[in-house]
Amino acid sequence: MSDHIKTEQAGGVLTVTFARADKKNAITQDMYAALAEATERARNDDAVRVLLFRAEGDAFSAGNDIGDFIALASQGQGAMDMPVFRFLKSLADLDKPAVAAVRGRAVGIGLTLLLNCDMVVVAEDALLSAPFINLALAPEAASSLLLPAALGHQRAFEIFALGEPIDGRTALAWGIANRAVSADQVETTAMELATKLAARAPNSLRKTKRLMRDGERLWALMQKEGEAFGSQMTSPEAMEAFMAFTQKRAPDFSKVG
C-alpha cells in the first residue's frame, strides 16, 4: 500500500484518503495500485458496505502526477499496462455504494472519479475540471459517457474542450453532486451519508446499483478510452503540452496536427 493512500474501516464504511497534500494529492501509479487494492477490498469484504473517498490538505486531487506520466511515456510503457487501469476496472466492478467528499481542486481523475461514485458532497467553493485536451490527452474513467449523461453533450463538451473549472454550486445544479456545503462541513456531511447507506439493506443496495450501472459496458469503454489516451501520450501534441507544463507556459499547438 502506498504511503500516500490511507485506509480506515469503521461502522461498515471503508474510508480511502488521498494523503499527498504537499503535491495537491496528484496521483502516481503507486497510488493507483493502492487505490485499486482498496476498491477491490471494498467489493469483496462483506464487512465493508460503503466506500468513501476523501483527501487531506486543501485539494481533493490535482489529477495525474504529470512528472510520473512523462517518465512512463518516455519509457514507452503502454497506458493499459499502468496500475491506473487496475483501479478503473475495480471502479467498474464495484457494486457497493461509493461516496466522495470533495474540497478544493478536483482535476482530471479528481473529477472523473466522482462520476463513478454514487453520492458526492462538494464544497461550495470547490473547483472541478477535466483539462484532458489542454494536456493533449483524452477522457478516461468512462467519463466520455458518464459526463454527457449527467450534464448533456454541450456542457460536457465544454468541460472537456476548454478545461475550465466549475464550482461546487454549479456541480450541484448540473447534477454532478448530491450536496454542496461549506468547506468545513464536507467531511461531516459525506460521512453522514455513508453511515446512512451502511445501515441500508446491503444486498438490495448492490442489486440496485448493478441495475443502474452496466459495469461491463463501463469497463469496455474505459479500455477504448485507454487506447485513445495511450496513443495521445506519445504524440507530438502531448510532448508539447507536457513540456509547456514543466516550463510553466501555455502550450503552442500551432505547429502540430
Task: Quote the pLDDT of residue 254.
Answer: 87
Cell 476498491, located at residue: 39
Provide the residue range defining the domain that includes 10.
5-184
Sequence-distant (6+) residues with CB within 8 A of 83 are: 29, 30, 32, 33, 36
Residue 248 lies in a domain: no
Q: Which pLDDT score, from 0 to 100, does residue 54 have?
A: 98
Task: Decide if 172 is inside a domain.
Answer: yes
**pTM, rounded to two decimals:** 0.94
Is 226 a domain residue? no
The whole-number average pLDDT for the span 43-50 is 98
Residue 55 has pLDDT above 70, yes or no: yes
Total domains in the chain come to: 1
Residue that is written with C-alpha cell 438490495 in the block: 204
pLDDT tens across 33-43, in order? 999 999 999 99
Q: How many whole angstroms separate alpha carbon 217 and alpha carbon 69? A: 27
Looking only at the bridges linking them, the beta strands covering 50-55 and 98-102 are parallel
Cell numbers linked to 41: 477490498
Comparing 74 with 239, which gets the higher pLDDT? 239
- The separation between CA 249 and the C-alpha centre of its own chain, rounded to angstroms, equals 26
The predicted-structure confidence for 116-134, as pLDDT tens digits, reads as follows: 999 999 999 999 999 999 9
Is residue 134 in some structural domain?
yes
Domain for residue 117, yes or no? yes
CATH of the domain at 118: 3.90.226.10
Residue 243 lies in a domain: no
Q: How large is the average pLDDT for residues 22-36?
A: 96
**Confidence band of 68 (pLDDT split at 50, 70, 90):** confident
Q: Which residues lie below 8 Å from residue 81, measured CB to CB, with a gap of 6+?
A: none
In a domain, 209, yes or no: no
- The answer to the question of residue 203 being in a domain is no
pLDDT at 175 over 90: yes
Cα distance between residue 12 and residue 116, in whole Å: 20
Contacts of 204 (CB under 8 A, 6+ apart): none
